[in-house]
Amino acid sequence: MDVLLFWRRSSVLPSSSLSSSSSSSLPPEPGLSLSASCHPRLCAMDSTLFIIGVIGNIISVLVFISPIPTFWRIVRSGSTEDFEAAPYVLTLLNTLLWLYYGLTKPDGLLVATVNGFGAVMETIYLVLFLVYAADKGKRVKTAKLVAALDIGFFGVVFAATTFAIDGLDMKIMVIGLICACLSVFMYGSPLAAVRRVITSRSVEYMPFFLSFFLFLNGGVWATYAVLDKDVFLGVPNGTGCFLGGIQLVIYAVYMNSKVASHSYGSDEAASLLSSEASKHGQHDASTRV
């Protein structure tokens, strides 16, 4: 509409004005020329994306800090006991990849900041795990995992996308595909608990808040991805929302089961929760993809 009105006004200008337009630009006519300010609908869309992105990042931060009670217990006891480092190693890798994605993608501020925060938290957890490892074997195993995945694999991805791939769009696509695949894998990891719940008819192995945050976090970021048309964000988080919903249904079915149960370890639940955080803050709410 604005372009059409501008063309009609221009068509009735004197020929001398038109001939001189190549050397000097015509002053814009209010309400008729294209404006640098966004269209009201675009502004509203940007605001919605920003709000959803901020909500997603808040949830992600809460999930990132959820293992703090676990490591407070480790520090107080002076031992990692039977806790495993693998979830934290994988979560660190996930946050590093999404951090790289956010730094590579234009205007990827929130994805970079929230995953940067997640990477710092996971690094702290792993340092504490190495310091308080129950035995030398566990410490060596953890160090090897960190070297192979968080340093080795991420280093290969960084080098390959930096030196072997030309073009920003292709680089973003490759990094996003890797991030999405890893996120889907991590989202599916708690499904083993679903099978255990069905066979035992008890929810002791599937904590409610883990399932709830999988559903909520995935839903928020899947909604954002649909509005923003980001397939790399939408596929893993849509999958996570779906799987989280299934877990909530299973929980509702078996929550009143009479089978005796002892509570699922809150520390293990926190560990699993942490492994889900990095893929949900993972996108810049201010970016228009």
With 80 as the cut, is the pLDDT of residue 147 above it?
yes
CB burial readout 98-121, b (16+ within 10 A) else e: bbbbbebbeebebbbbbbbbbbeb
Question: Mean of the pLDDT values across residues 6-11?
Answer: 39
Higher pLDDT, 34 or 198: 198
CB atoms within 10 A of CB 151: 12
Sign of CA dihedral 37, 47, 58, 207: negative
Contact indicator for 287, 107 with CB cutoff of 8 Å: yes
Contact indicator for 228, 49 with CB cutoff of 8 Å: yes
Contact indicator for 257, 203 with CB cutoff of 8 Å: yes
With 70 as the cut, is the pLDDT of residue 64 above it?
yes
83-127 pLDDT, tens digit each: 888 889 999 999 999 999 989 988 778 788 889 999 999 999 999
CB atoms within 10 A of CB 51: 12
